[in-house]
Amino acid sequence: MSHITLISGSTLGNAEDIAKYLSKQLNIFGFTTKIMHGPKLNELVLNGKWLVITSTYGSGELPKNLQPLLEEIKQQKPNLSQIHFGAIGLGDSSYDYFCGAIKKINQELLRLGAKRIGQILKIDALKYSSPRNYAEKWLVNWIQLHTTK
């Protein structure tokens, strides 16, 4: 089929775990994948498909391993018009800035021309004891949308 780069940002490892799990699921569906935990902008191919998975900490902040990427994107303002992406946020809805990190990344990617496939998946730690299963259900729909892009 095609290639998907999974970009994860995690403080406690949950987003990395989801990225690894979804990568395996995508492989089953025939996609090739590459997982990048907190990549630098120059390590990313600026065309194709990305699946961004991040947790949120503090006041809606990105994990420390993903914050540098967002800063590079803001400073360098690359043309992302050849990127189609999916977005998954992990958080806790008891906090005011629930899934704030994925919202920030989504906003910046869209501002620079990237096109989001489907809706942002927001996984609430208070509702879902198994975020993998919830993410997998979303992924099946995302794959269907992906194949039309």
How many residues are present in the chain? Answer: 149
Distance CA(112)–CA(61), nearest Å, equals 20
Helix, strand, coil shares of the chain, percent, nearest 5, are 40, 25, 35
146 has pLDDT over 80: no
What pLDDT, on a 0 to 100 scale, did the predictor assign at position 148?
59
- CATH class of residue range 3-146: alpha beta
pTM for the whole structure: 0.94
Up-side HSE of residue 34: CA atoms within 13 Å toward CB? 12
Using one digit for the tens of pLDDT, what is the confidence trace for 56-89?
988 888 999 999 999 999 999 999 999 999 999 9
Up-side HSE of residue 16: CA atoms within 13 Å toward CB? 12
When pLDDT is cut at 50, 70 and 90, the band that residue 1 belongs to is low
